[in-house]
């Protein structure tokens, strides 16, 4: 039997961790997905009207309740105050400025984690680690061009796979998206040798 919308919403909400400085990239992605699912993301990312109607106010309060429910006690005290407690847009901006998008140290940490992903010989685990790290990287908006990310990924693959990797550099669909690149890498057959291509 398919899950109801409420069940899906509750499951989505339960997967969001309490926000801390260490888990901001995961938290913001999961929270955006949940808020979008319940139709409240725009309420959090768009300034409120000067005089919101009753329906808009209810949505604001719902969004504040959802966000506040996933803030650790220290995080709550750092971002929520009497000036923003009723306005999800102000709270959302405070969270992002405090924990994420403007925090150079978090961007640097996430970027370094991405660049340090080793290729351990297993294509599946490598692409999985890259995908997870890319999602974290995108959540802090480092403004790194996609083709640079693709080159970073391809540069980690050892020479024994270059006969598989080199053609990807000439494929515009692949070179423009690190996610497309990872999908293509997952299709590699490590047993395939150069003569059979």
**Sign of the alpha-carbon dihedral angle for 89, 95, 100, 105:** positive
Give the chain's mean pLDDT. Answer: 86
Nearest one of 36, 38, 37, 19 to 28, comparing CA atoms: 19
How many helices (H) does the chain have, and how many strands (E)? 12, 0
CB 44, CB 92: distance < 8 Å: yes
Which secondary structure element, helix H or strand E, spans residue 11, and what is its range? helix 5-14
Question: What is the pLDDT at residue 178?
Answer: 93
Residue 143: pLDDT band with limits 50, 70, 90 = confident
3-state secondary structure at position 49: coil
Question: What is the pLDDT at residue 54?
Answer: 96
In the chain, domain spans? 5-99, 104-196
Question: What is the pLDDT at residue 4?
Answer: 56
Lowest mean pLDDT among 12-21, 23-32, 116-125, 137-146: 137-146
pTM: 0.58
3-state secondary structure at position 82: coil
């Amino acid at each position: 039997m398919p899950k109801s919308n409420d069940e899906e919403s509750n499951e989505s909400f339960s997967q969001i961790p309490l926000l801390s400085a260490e888990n901001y990239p995961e938290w913001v992605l999961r929270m955006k997905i949940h808020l979008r699912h319940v139709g409240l993301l725009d309420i959090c990312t768009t300034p409120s009207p000067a005089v919101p109607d009753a329906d808009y106010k209810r949505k604001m309060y719902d969004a504040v309740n959802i966000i506040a429910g996933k803030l650790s006690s220290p995080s709550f005290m750092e971002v929520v105050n009497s000036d923003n407690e009723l306005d999800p847009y102000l709270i959302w901006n405070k969270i992002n400025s405090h924990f994420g998008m403007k925090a150079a140290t978090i961007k640097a940490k996430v970027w370094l984690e991405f660049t340090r992903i080793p290729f351990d010989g297993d294509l599946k685990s490598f692409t999985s680690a890259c995908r997870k790290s890319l999602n974290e990287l995108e959540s802090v908006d480092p403004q790194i061009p996609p083709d640079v990310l693709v080159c970073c990924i391809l540069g980690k693959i050892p020479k024994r796979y270059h006969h598989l990797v080199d053609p990807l550099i000439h494929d515009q669909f692949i070179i423009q998206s690190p996610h497309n690149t990872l999908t293509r890498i997952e299709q590699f057959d490590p047993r395939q040798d150069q003569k059979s291509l």
